């Protein structure tokens, strides 16, 4: 191993490894984005309104 690379630096976790809460934030952002996309698609593609006859019970 070269002298310029220390063992502690080579074995240390990356940016996200040192901050695991960022994975939780990222997961919530993805989840909210997916729900928003589904609601947007559903609202723009609503089924046509069908008038219902009132049934008279005799």
pTM of the model: 0.59
What's the DSSP call for residue 1?
A: -
The whole-angstrom separation of Cα 37 and Cα 14 is 31
The whole-angstrom separation of Cα 11 and Cα 33 is 34
Q: Which residue has the higher pLDDT, 23 or 2?
A: 23
User: pLDDT, tens digit, for every residue of 7-49?
Assistant: 555 567 888 788 889 999 999 999 999 999 999 999 999 989 8
Which pLDDT score is estimated for 26? Answer: 95
Judged against a pLDDT cut of 60, whether residue 1 lies above it is answered with: no
The whole-angstrom separation of Cα 30 and Cα 44 is 21
Rg (alpha carbons) of the chain, rounded to whole number: 27
Contacts with 1 (C-beta within 8 Å, 6 or more apart), sequence order:
7, 10
């Amino acid at each position: 191993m070269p002298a310029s690379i220390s063992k502690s630096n080579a074995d240390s976790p990356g940016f996200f490894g040192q901050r695991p809460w960022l994975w939780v934030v990222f997961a919530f952002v993805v989840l909210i984005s997916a729900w928003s996309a589904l609601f947007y698609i559903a609202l723009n593609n609503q089924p046509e309104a069908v008038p219902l006859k009132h049934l008279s019970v005799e």
